Structure formats: C-alpha cells, structure tokens
Amino acid sequence: MSCFCTAEYVEYGNDSAVKVYKSTDGTDVKTCSEIFADRGSVALVAMGVSFLIVGVNFALKVILVELIKSLRLKTVTLETNYTMITIFVG
C-alpha cells in the first residue's frame, strides 16, 4: 500500500493525502493520509531517539570530566590522560 501512495503522491502531489477511497465494506477511507501520517510519526520518533542519545552522551561526558577534576590528581598530565581515556574510550 505504501508503494501505491508513493505513486499517487508522484502523480497528484499533496492532494493524494486527501483523496478518499472506497473500502471493501463500502466505507470511505483516506488511506494515503494515514500512511503519510505514520511516516511522519516514525520520523519524529527516530529524531527524538537521536537527540536523546546525544544528550545522554553529553551528560555522561560532563559527569566524567567533573569526576576526574574531583580526584585532584597531582599533575595536569595525569588529569589530561584520565580525561582522554574516559572521554575517547569510555
């Protein structure tokens, strides 16, 4: 059905979403409108998950840097080494 709606979109443009079709039981349905809405919902969920992953990753890296600073290592070299290990490996 998705291929049908894609073909309808190519032929009619945005009007394909509002075209009404008769189902086998005689009711009127906007099939392509539902498929286009589902595609939009999937895109929003995928984008939300991506932003969530980036946000969690950023927060973890900030927490790790603060934890390393709280260790009060004796040299800046040690602090830099620990930071590199936790940020790039962890």
pLDDT tens column, 30-86: 878 888 888 889 999 999 999 999 999 999 999 988 988 888 888 888 888 888 888
What total of structural domains would you count in the chain? 1
What is the span of the domain harbouring residue 81? 2-89
pTM over 0.75: no
Distances (CA, A) of 83 to 1, 53, 54, 55, 60: 52, 21, 19, 19, 12
In this prediction, residue 18 has a pLDDT band, given cuts at 50, 70 and 90, of confident
Residue 55: per-residue pLDDT: 96
pLDDT higher than threshold 70 for residue 90: no
